[in-house]
Amino acid sequence: MTVYVVAKLKIDDRETYAKYSDGFMDILTRYGGKLLSVDDGAEVIEGDWPYNRTVLLEFPDKADMQAWYNSPEYKDLVKHRYASSTAEIALIKGWQDDEN
Question: Where along the chain do its domains lie?
Answer: 3-43+50-94
CATH class of 3-43+50-94: alpha beta
Question: Taking the C-alpha atoms of 19, 49, 89 and 93 in order, what is their torsion angle to the nearest 10 degrees?
Answer: -130
The pairing of beta strand 85-93 with beta strand 34-39? unpaired
This model's pTM is above 0.85:
yes
Residue 84 binned pLDDT confidence (cut-offs 50, 70, 90): very high
Nearest-angstrom CA–CA distance, 1 and 96: 8
The length of the chain in residues reads 100
What integer pLDDT is reported at residue 97 of this predicted model?
73
Residue 100 binned pLDDT confidence (cut-offs 50, 70, 90): low
Nearest-angstrom CA–CA distance, 76 and 9: 19
**5-39 pLDDT, tens per residue?**
999 999 999 999 999 999 999 999 999 999 999 99
Q: State what percent of residues in the chain have pLDDT above 90.
A: 94
